[in-house]
Every structure is written in structure tokens, then in C-alpha cells.
């Protein structure tokens, strides 16, 4: 059995299927880990989501910021003019798709493989157990009948530093931002969510989250997406998988069931040339 972790799909269905062909993905025995942001910006979000849902137990997918935004749109908290997302809203199976998406986790850890999957990262001042516990707090709300209440309070960059004294919506918003939006963090634990460029473009005093001094998960192997300007990276026990397919880069998989993980990528020239279908 092969296990492939794949970076942000963002509705790039055709590229996704080409990558699976490149990997020689066998649905009878292989498994997929998806780093979130299944939809949005690309040309075929509905097809992408339907295909992933159809794979059922072959797939583990975590929630990304674009997935969460789509859920807020579905809940009536936000609106969208993205024609690709409107197709999801108008789909006959919209409820099934949105309920499936809402029940995805923020973090997945496989003790036998010793890999952890998240969308953006793990807050540097949390160890793995703490990260799992905090993710479970938000999971419980998203899976409850009152999930719309969270989406009304999800948006915003504050608070920007963790404290166990945080409570209510502030606590859940920080947890959400850490798993789905984080890129840069200070050694003291302050997030800088506005900076989206590659390392070296961030304000002074901030660092890629995985480079923060004393990071409590530095002995954990972490797979993440979200950061297209970072690209394909393997350093400090982390594996970055968002290689900017939607921006004309690549779509990338990482095979993780082998003694040494290895990357497999396909080029995405249609997006670079603006020839979206």
C-alpha cells in the first residue's frame, strides 16, 4: 500500500488526476492525505470535491482556510462571486458535500508512520498532544448543530498570541488561525498573519513558524500546505507541499510509506498561461 500526501488542490481537478496518474495511484490499495484547500480559485472545485468525497475512506483531508471560507459561505455568513464556488452552492448534492467538508479534522497524526498532517502548521509553543487537544475543541464546535455561530466569529487576526486564559470565540479563532492561516511567528509566540511572501520578506522579529526557537514539535515529522510562496521544502523535520499549482507552478505529492519519503510533481502550465477550463 502506497500513501501519498498532496498539497493544495484549489479546484485544479485535471492536474489532480494527472498527478494521481503520475503516482500510479491504485484506489484498490493506496491511500491519500490531502493538506486542505481542496477548493477555491481553480476552475473545477465542484468536480474536485465530488471526486475526493467519492474516494471515501481512501482519503484523509484536513481543513484549509479556503475550505473554512466555503463553509462560511454555505452557512450564509459570507457571500461569494466566484463562479466556481457558486457551482457548489447550486449543486444538487451541496448538502452532502458541505457536511462532509465540515466534518474534516484540523490535524491528523499517524503514530505508526510518525507523520502529522495539517494545512498551515502547528503553533510552535504547542507540543503534539496540545495541538491535538486544541484542534479537538474546534472540531467539536464545527461538528455540532451550532457550527454557524463559529463562522460568525471566525474572521480576524486577533488575538495574535496564545494564552491558556483565552476563552470563547477568541480562543477558537486563534486555534483556527494557527492551523489554517499561520506562516510567520515570533520567538515569543506572536503570529503575523498579514505576511504571505517567502521567508526573508517578513517583518523583523518574525520567522517561519517551523524555525521558531524551541519549537515543541521539532522532533515530529509535519506535512503542510498553504504557503505557495514557500514552495517545496524539506527542512527542520517539516515537508512543505503547496507548490503553487493554481499560480502556474506544480502540484506535488509526497510518498510517505517508504523508508525515505520522496516528492512527485506535475507541471501546471495551463494556469501559468491563463488557460483555465
Rounded CA gap, 133 and 199, in Å?
29
Rounded CA gap, 152 and 77, in Å?
6
Domain that holds residue 158: 3-272
The 10s digit of each residue's pLDDT in 171-219 is 999 999 999 999 999 999 999 999 999 999 999 999 999 999 999 999 9
69, part of any domain: yes
189, part of any domain: yes
Range list of H helices, 93-226: 94-102, 128-142, 147-153, 168-180
The 10s digit of each residue's pLDDT in 32-75 is 999 999 999 889 999 999 999 999 999 999 999 999 999 999 99
* DSSP 8-class letter at 194: S
214, part of any domain: yes
277, part of any domain: no
248, part of any domain: yes
Q: CATH no. for residue 70?
A: 3.60.21.10
Give the pTM: 0.96
Confidence at residue 275, expressed as pLDDT on a 0 to 100 scale: 41
**Tally of domains in the chain:** 1
Confidence at residue 110, expressed as pLDDT on a 0 to 100 scale: 97
Question: Which whole number is the average pLDDT over 237-264?
Answer: 95
Amino acid at each position: 500500500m502506497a500513501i501519498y500526501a498532496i498539497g493544495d488542490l484549489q479546484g485544479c481537478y485535471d492536474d489532480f488526476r494527472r498527478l494521481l496518474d503520475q503516482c500510479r495511484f491504485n484506489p484498490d490499495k493506496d491511500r491519500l492525505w490531502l493538506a486542505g484547500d481542496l477548493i477555491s480559485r481553480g476552475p473545477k472545485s465542484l468536480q474536485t470535491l465530488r471526486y475526493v468525497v467519492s474516494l471515501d475512506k481512501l482519503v484523509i483531508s484536513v481543513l484549509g482556510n479556503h475550505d473554512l471560507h466555503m463553509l462560511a459561505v454555505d452557512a450564509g455568513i459570507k457571500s461569494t462571486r466566484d463562479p466556481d464556488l457558486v457551482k457548489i452552492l447550486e449543486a444538487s448534492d451541496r448538502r452532502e458535500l458541505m457536511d462532509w467538508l465540515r466534518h474534516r479534522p484540523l490535524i491528523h497524526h499517524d503514530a505508526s508512520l510518525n507523520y502529522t498532517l495539517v494545512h498551515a502548521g502547528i503553533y510552535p509553543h504547542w507540543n503534539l498532544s496540545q495541538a491535538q487537544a486544541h484542534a479537538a475543541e474546534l472540531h467539536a464546535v464545527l461538528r455540532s448543530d451550532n457550527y454557524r455561530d463559529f463562522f460568525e466569529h471566525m474572521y480576524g487576526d486577533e488575538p495574535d498570541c496564545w494564552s491558556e486564559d483565552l476563552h470563547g470565540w477568541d480562543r477558537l479563532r486563534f486555534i483556527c488561525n494557527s492551523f489554517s492561516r499561520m506562516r510567520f511567528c515570533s520567538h515569543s509566540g506572536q503570529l503575523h498573519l498579514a505576511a504571505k511572501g517567502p521567508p526573508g520578506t517578513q517583518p523583523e522579529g518574525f520567522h517561519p513558524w517551523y524555525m521558531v526557537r524551541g519549537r515543541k514539535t521539532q522532533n515530529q515529522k509535519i506535512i503542510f500546505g498553504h504557503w505557495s510562496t514557500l514552495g517545496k521544502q524539506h527542512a527542520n523535520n517539516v515537508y512543505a507541499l503547496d507548490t503553487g499549482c493554481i499560480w502556474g507552478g506544480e502540484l506535488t505529492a509526497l510518498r510517505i510509506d517508504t523508508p525515505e519519503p520522496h516528492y512527485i510533481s506535475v507541471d501546471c502550465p495551463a494556469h501559468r498561461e491563463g488557460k483555465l477550463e
